[in-house]
Each structure stands twice: as structure tokens, then as C-alpha cells.
Amino acid sequence: MYKKSGGGHSIPVPFARPFIGKEEEDAVLRVLRSGWLTTASEALSFEDEFAACLNQTAGRPVKAAAVNSATSGLHLALEACGLRAGDVALVPSYTFASSAETALYLGAEVAFIDCAPDSFLLDIEQFEKTARRLSEGKTAYESGGPSGRARVVIPVHFGGLCCDMTAVNEIARRYGIRVIEDAAHAFPAYNKNGEPAGTLGDAGVFSFYATKTLTTAEGGMVVSADQELIKRVSLMRCHGIDRAVWNRYTSGGASWYYEVTEVGYKYNLPDILAAIGRVQLKRAGDLLAKRKFIASCYDTAFSDKDFCAIPPGSAGDSRHLYPLRLNPSLIRRVSRDECIVKLKELGIGVSVHFIPLHTMPYYKNRYKLKKGDFPQAEDAYNRVISLPVWPGMTQEQIDRVIESVFKLV
């Protein structure tokens, strides 16, 4: 039924694979032949084009600043929002390490928030409760945790599904909290009003890692309607230098002189990567359609089955991930981890999103957290398997994933 490799086994279906074509190859060659590889006109054009794409439907115009990773972008956005020692960042436990560790870079503390029931997204009620406790001078949780001023919240648009940003923003305004959207999974994703993720808070941070919906291999983008915030991010991403200095080696009219006005970082995005991103941006609509088709095939196959629940979705979902939630009736017979092993034996690459941060040794020890503190995040972790969703998957590969899941059951 499927093409066999030399060893007699079916050729594996990888969990993720970038969709790279001749246009991306030509763009890289153009930069290589230009004689200039690091940040210059390609990165600047990528910023303008990315912002223009968002501004087609954004409720307010944003500007963009390209960086070398979403982690860098979160760090810079938090710094620009004034996060510092003595402050607390409110972060979902059900997310990747970057969402929390960047707050610690700045000497702040992290208070985790659980998922909402039957959801992978921030629990709005728990967010409000934690913000209120901190505003009253209490610890983040009744059992303890950090205390201090709640300075920022980082809602994570998990898998490309938008958080309820109306509710997040309302609570944040009430308690004087800045809102930084972790939109690493969310390009292009939209709320119910058709406004793009990343433009709904004080700042949004996108990822262009190799597995993301738009890739530059490594890279990210910070966007904001707050011009001062973007100016700060742009300053701090390149050593705190007071002006753009990339052209001092290539332009006869550019001055060699510059001044360091802040202790900044080395977070700029090189042209060779930005060139890939510009091509990917042009085909973003087609890439989204391909992911939506794959997810629709999974939805059709796994809806109303007694062994699983399909992920929540919406018309504006970027479909970056397809987290299939296994029901207890199946897990009692075979654990989630055993399911992963068996699917890999069948040649299906799968993953787990995410391992809750409160279970990680560092955070567990730092804040004296224990199993059961964030039950919805733990339940999602124990039951979820992320299936392959990447543009370029053939119908045969999609069918093979589906058939393998049924074979497992």
C-alpha cells in the first residue's frame, strides 16, 4: 500500500517539515551573491511587508521589528514594557520554556496560570484571581508562589487558536498589566472579529522557527501599535546603539560614528534568513489552506469517536498543531506514551505539546509547586498527541496517519 524503504519498512511520515521551494532557494542565492549577509535591506523589507500583511485587517496599525528568535522577541518586549526585579509575569503553565524564562532574564518572577477546562488556552477566571491576589499584596496562589506587582501577562495562542483577548485586555487594564501576546503559533490567525493575533495586546511576538507556519529557519518578529515600544525593541536588539549601523560598511554616505545609549543585546535577524521569510510571507495564504485541509481530514476521521476528542478550532485558527486528545477509556488500556511509541513503530512522527512548565524541575523547585496545582494543564499533557500537520503532506501520508491511529486503537 505504501512505498517501502530498503529495509522493508514504510517510509516514515515526519512530524514536521518546512515547505521550501525554488523561490526560497533563489532568494538565498540573491543574498549570497550580494556580498552582504547580515541585517540590511532584506530584513527591513521583511519588517515592512509583515506589518503591511497584518495591517490589512488589524484594528489599529502596527509596526514590526525583526529579531533572531521569538525568545529574543519576548525578552525585548518584556524589557520594553518595563518588567524588572520585584515584578511578576503571569504565564500559562501549558506553554514552551521561552514564555516564562524571558521574564526571569530580567530578574522578575513568574506566576503560572492553568488552562481553561477542555481548552489549551489561558483560564480567564484564574488569570483574574491571580492578578487580584497580587494586587492585594498576597502570593500568587493560596498555597504560596511569588508575590510582587503583576506587570505583564503573556497569553499564548496555542496551536494558532486565539485566546479571548477581549477578556484578557479588560482584566489587564483593570489591574494595570501590560499584555504581550505569545503568537509563536499564530501566523496567520485571527480572533472572531477577523483581527490578527499579535495585534490585540500591547505587543505580539511571532516565531519563524523551522517547524512554524512561516519559517526563516530561525527568527521572529515583534509587532506593536505602540511606537515607543517598537523604538525600544529596535534599539535594544542591536547593542543599544542609537542608530541603524548596518550600512556603515556599504554606504559611502553613512557615518562610521555611533553611540551606545543602553546596554542592549545581539538579537538582529540576518538578511539571508529574512529573504526566506519574504518568500514565505507571499505564500502564507496557500500554506494556511494546506494546513486547514489536513486538519479537516483529521476532523472528519476523528469526530465523534469514543477514544478521542478533536482539538477546539475556529475559522481564524492557523492550524499550526493538531493536538488529538485521547480519552480515558483508551488511556486505561494503553498510556499516551505507549501510543507514541506504537505510532512511531508504524512510521508516524508525532510529538507532545506541551510539557507543563510547573512540572519542570527548575520551576517546581523555585516555587515549591506540586502535581495537581494546575490540573487542566496536567490533563492535557497526559492525554495529548500532536499529529503531523505540514504543507506538502500528500493525501497518502494524511490517510496513513489516520489509518495508523485507528490501527493503534
- Phi, psi for 109 (deg, rounded to 5): -110, 165
239, three cell numbers: 547593542
Q: What angle do CA 88, 89, 95 make, to 5 degrees?
A: 145
| Cα–Cα dist 302/12, whole Å | 21
CA–CA distance, 280 with 214 (Å, rounded to integer): 6
Specify the residue for cell string 503571569.
Answer: 90
Beta partners for 45?
A: none
SS3 state at 241 = strand
98: cell is 521561552
Q: Assign 203 to helix, strand or coil.
A: strand
Determine whether 344 is an active site residue: no
Instruction: Name the E strands within 249-374.
Output: 308-309, 322-326
Quote the cell numbers at residue 112.
503560572
Q: Which of 93, 82, 142 is nearest to 121 (CA)?
A: 93
What percent helix, strand, coil does the chain show, rounded to 5? 40, 15, 45
Annotated catalytic residue, options 212, 364, 368, 371: 212
Tell me the three state secondary structure of residue 362. helix
Q: How many CB atoms lie within 10 A of CB 174?
A: 12
Amino acid (one-letter) located at 108: A
Residue among 64, 106, 117 at smallest CA distance from 82: 106
d(CA 216, CA 390): 15
C-alpha cell at 242: 542609537
Cis peptide before 391 (omega within 30 of 0): no
* Active site residue ranges: 212
